[in-house]
Homo-oligomer: A and B are copies of this chain.
Amino acid sequence: MLEKPHQRTETETLGEFGLIRHLAGGFVPRLESTLVGVGDDAAVIKQHDGQLSLLSTDMLLEGVHFDLSYTPLKHLGYKAAVVNFSDIYAMNGKPEQLVVGLACSNRFPVEALEEIYEGLALACSQYGVDLVGGDTTSSRAGLILSLSILGSVNADKLVQRSGAGPNDLLVVSGDLGGAYVGLQLLEREKQVFVENPGAQPDLEGHDYILERQLKPEARRDVVEYLAEIGVLPTSMIDISDGLSSEILHLCNQSGVGCQLFEEKIPIDPTTYAMAREFGLDPTVCALSGGEDYELLFTVRQSDYEKIKGSTLLTVIGHMTPDVNQAVMVDKSGGVHPIKAQGWTAFGNTKE
């Protein structure tokens, strides 16, 4: 009854990034300890002795971010934690303390929540993180997980999105597109099951892409490897929404352009084959698929010798001076502007 009439702008018109920038972008940090606020993978807070804290939050909703008809609850807990850790690795930091908010309707018995917590516990144990707090509550519809992670990094090791310079090499860990084609496979088998409940899902031989979707890992190994070989990236981000949108974040926040070479984008053969089976372009799966949680970063040309032998890393392009020129060179030499077509959490649900 206290409501007042609204001008009405639909959230879809801004998109997920546009919306958070619109809403939170005006918050200028005032505390001396707040070094970085909204706009990177994590906020950066100054502690004593050159030590920094990193703080990040993620929310996962049933029906938007996951489908329980093919997501085992333990995997869901594991993935929710790992996705959160990935934000801290993307700042070259170490995730340390996790808090978990969990809301669910009475459709979920205690045993279901225990399975989620088993997954959280496994992830915490694998990555050396402590689960230190939580909030549980009921929801009117479905399951909601909200995680916040506190991490740390030495001030001289912090890597933000904004440090890439012209001519820096653009590097990605692992391979891309797998999580997306894994999701397509799960959706197809779900459809088969809906149409014929007696059918058994045909998932055999697809372990790799299924694991990429259902139980991804965060690239702690890459962060540790870079420290070991003495390479400090000039900028970094994790790939949650697809290669192209993450490249654009690095370009925009660093004020540089980039030249990406399609033929260099690492795609696993099983990802490639499954994309083809679905009639999808494997490159598009890598560019726009998202949820791979690989690290995308830039290094100085002078560091090339140090990284070139690594099986963890692939150089896929280099940065250029003009921020308006973020392009991909395709396999036949054609040049295309890179567009953000990553997955968006807006525009696909109705109430």
Residues of A with Cβ closer than 8 Å to B?
1-3, 6-14, 16, 19-20, 22-24, 26-27, 29-31, 33-34, 36-38, 42-43, 45, 47-49, 51, 53, 55-59, 61-65, 68-72, 96-97, 99-114, 117, 121, 124, 128-142, 144, 146, 148, 150, 152, 189-190, 193, 201, 345-351
Contact = CB atoms under 8 A, between A and B. Distances in A.
A338 to B, nearest CB: 24
A139 B64 contact: yes
Nearest to A124: B27
A138 B350 CA distance: 9
Contacts of A16: 136-137
A29 B349 contact: no
Contact of A109 (B10, B20, B38): B10
Given A132-B38, A140-B141, A146 B64 contact: no
B107 A351 contact: yes
Contact of A42 (B49, B133, B139): B133
Contact of A56 (B2, B31, B102, B133): B133
Contact of A59 (B26, B31, B101): B101
Contacts of A190: 1
Given A34-B130, A133-B38, A6 B99 contact: no
Contact of A140 (B61, B112, B347): B61
A57 B117 contact: no
B11 A108 contact: yes
